[in-house]
Amino acid sequence: MAKKSVFIATHDSSPPQPLPVMMSEIEREIERVEQGGDAWQETDEAVEVETKRPLDAVVPVRLAADTYTELRREARARGVGPSTLIRMWIIEKLHAAHQVRISP
C-alpha cells in the first residue's frame, strides 16, 4: 500500500507543506510558548467576538413525516436548519402574543 501525503495550505504565500512538517512547527511553537515565550506576535490583532446565549431547554416535538419534509424544505429555502426555523417561529408567535396582551 502506497503511503499518501496530506498537504495543508497556509494563509501566507508559502507553498503547501506536508502535514508532519506542519505538526512539528506547531509543536515547536507550543513548546516555545510553554517555555515562557510570547503567545502573541506583533502582527496579531485582537478581534471582538459575539457569543450566543446557550440554549438550555430541549422540547421534543412529534411531526408527521410529510410535515417534517415540508418544514425542512421551508427551512432550506430560508437558509437555516429545521430546528432554527421552529425556534424562530415560536419566538415570533410569543412576541406577537405579548404585543396583543399589552396593546390597549
| Phi, psi (degrees; rounded to nearest 5) at 69 | -60, -45
Contacts (Cβ under 8 Å, ≥6 apart) of 78: 85
Model pLDDT, residue 11: 59
* Residue 84 forms part of a structural domain: yes
- The segments of the chain whose pLDDT lies below 70 read 1-23
Residue 44: per-residue pLDDT: 73
Q: Is the Cα dihedral 67, 70, 72, 74 positive or negative?
A: negative
Residue 18 maps to a domain: yes
Is 49 part of a structural domain of the chain? Answer: no
What's the domain range around 97?
Answer: 65-102
What was the pLDDT predicted at 1? 46
Give the CB-side neighbour count of residue 28, counting CA atoms within 13 A. Answer: 6
pTM of the model: 0.48
